[in-house]
């Protein structure tokens, strides 16, 4: 019984490192990539701070990364002046999280030439009269801003 428990724990631990983020059109960076990817970029950089906590659970929730999945669909339509990157805040990238004072997730920060232009956070209220979720309202707010940056 101890062997079975040990093997199960080991498999869960290994699988936590072998996951992929459920997006195709942007990638996740670490603290060490920040200078090259953000501060030295000549494009507008959209940083999405989120937590992979829900991906690490053994029973994955279908809503994991729902905002990121929806945003991923729109990224190809943005101009070439915009780069979208993700930053995991779940036990990673704490130096960057502290530096940029991230207190909740998701948070989106738009930067240009290393300077913060805007910071957006969802309202997390339940569906409104028209049954739009916070993810949809947040996506609409962000995509509207990004289309104006072109």
Domains of the chain, earliest start first: 20-149 (3.40.30.10)
Average pLDDT of the chain, as a whole number: 79
Quick check: 72 and 85 in contact, CB under 8 A?
A: no
Neighbour count for residue 48 (Cβ, 10 Å): 23
pLDDT confidence band for 15 (50 / 70 / 90): very low
Q: In the prediction, which pLDDT does 44 show?
A: 93
Locate 17 and state its tokens: 């490192």
CA 87, CA 30: separation in Å to the nearest integer? 7
pLDDT surpassing 50 at residue 17: no
H helix and E strand count, the chain: 6, 5
Taking only the tens place, the pLDDT of each residue in 85-99 is 999 888 889 999 999
Taking only the tens place, the pLDDT of each residue in 103-130 is 888 899 999 988 999 999 887 766 666 6
Locate all alpha helices (DSSP H) within the chain, ordered by sequence.
Answer: 2-17, 34, 53-56, 66-74, 94-99, 134-149
Q: In the prediction, which pLDDT does 20 show?
A: 64
CA atoms within 13 A on the CB side of 139: 16
Taking only the tens place, the pLDDT of each residue in 43-59 is 999 999 988 776 665 55
Q: In the prediction, which pLDDT does 124 show?
A: 72
């Amino acid at each position: 019984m101890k062997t079975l428990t040990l093997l199960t724990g080991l498999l869960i631990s290994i699988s936590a490192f072998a996951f992929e983020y459920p997006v195709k059109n942007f990638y996740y960076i670490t603290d060490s990539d920040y200078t090259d990817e953000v501060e030295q970029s000549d494009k507008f950089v959209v940083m999405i701070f989120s937590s992979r906590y829900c991906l690490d659970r053994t029973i994955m929730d279908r809503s994991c990364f729902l905002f990121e999945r929806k945003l991923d669909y729109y990224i190809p339509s943005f101009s070439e002046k915009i780069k979208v990157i993700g930053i995991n805040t779940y036990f990673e990238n704490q130096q960057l999280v502290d530096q940029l004072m991230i207190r909740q997730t998701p948070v989106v920060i738009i930067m240009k030439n290393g300077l913060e232009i805007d910071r957006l956070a969802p309202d997390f209220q339940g569906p409104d009269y028209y049954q739009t979720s916070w993810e949809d309202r947040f996506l609409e707010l962000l995509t509207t801003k990004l289309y104006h940056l072109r």
